């Protein structure tokens, strides 16, 4: 049998030619899925912290002095295990109330950890900063802060309890 007609090892050669692009495609898709999920999580954190800003920040009566810190904490808590396992880190949230709107900007750093896909998706830095904004109407509170009073003893029942 001549060397030109020998087909032994052809499957191994084909595997070597196909495996590189196949692994590159697979790892890139895995990294893209992680990045897109992180983007969705940061957008969720922005919406959650905007809801917190509407409730916490002035002009609400009794607004706490550390309101902006509480809004930032709401963004971190909304990220859940993505922040606690350090998949998203350096979470920053800034809130501003003006013109009847509570606007929040959230940013977080996502590390691209998939071996080959991280280079394709995130470049040589292997990290990407993700930004998200959310805005909700802030009409302010139209109520007096709740003050606990002593119950009436022996008095008539409130109107909503009377039948």
pLDDT tens digit sequence for 18-77: 998 999 999 999 999 999 999 999 999 999 999 999 888 887 777 888 989 999 999 999
What are the backbone angles phi and psi of residue 162, rounded to the nearest 5°? -70, 145
CA 17, 22, 25, 31 dihedral sign is negative
Whole-number Å distance between alpha carbons of 127 and 92:
16
What pTM does this model have? Answer: 0.76
Whole-number Å distance between alpha carbons of 162 and 160:
6
Res 156: pLDDT? 57
C-alpha 83 chain-centroid distance: 9
153, part of any domain: no
Query: In the predicted model, what is the mean pLDDT of the chain?
Result: 85
37, part of any domain: yes
142, part of any domain: no
Res 86: pLDDT? 85
The predicted model gives 5-13 an average pLDDT of: 81
Query: What's the domain range around 98?
Result: 14-137
121, part of any domain: yes
In the chain, how many domains are there?
Answer: 1
48, part of any domain: yes
Distances (CA, A) of 140 to 8, 22, 63, 155: 79, 56, 11, 35
pLDDT tens digit sequence for 120-149: 889 999 999 999 999 999 876 565 655 555
């Amino acid at each position: 049998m001549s060397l030109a007609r020998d087909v032994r090892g052809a499957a191994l050669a084909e595997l070597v030619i196909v495996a590189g692009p196949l692994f590159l495609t697979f790892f890139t898709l895995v990294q893209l899925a992680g990045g897109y999920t992180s983007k969705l999580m940061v957008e969720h954190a922005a919406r959650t912290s905007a809801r917190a800003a509407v409730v916490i920040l002035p002009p609400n009566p009794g607004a706490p002095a550390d309101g902006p810190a509480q809004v930032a904490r709401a963004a971190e808590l909304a990220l859940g295990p993505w922040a606690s396992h350090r998949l998203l880190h350096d979470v920053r949230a800034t809130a501003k109330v003006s013109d009847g709107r509570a606007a929040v900007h959230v940013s977080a750093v996502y590390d691209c950890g998939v071996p080959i896909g991280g280079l394709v998706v995130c470049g040589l830095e292997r990290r990407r900063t993700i930004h998200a904004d959310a805005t909700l109407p802030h009409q302010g509170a139209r109520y007096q802060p709740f003050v606990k009073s002593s119950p009436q003893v022996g008095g008539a029942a409130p109107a909503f309890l009377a039948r």
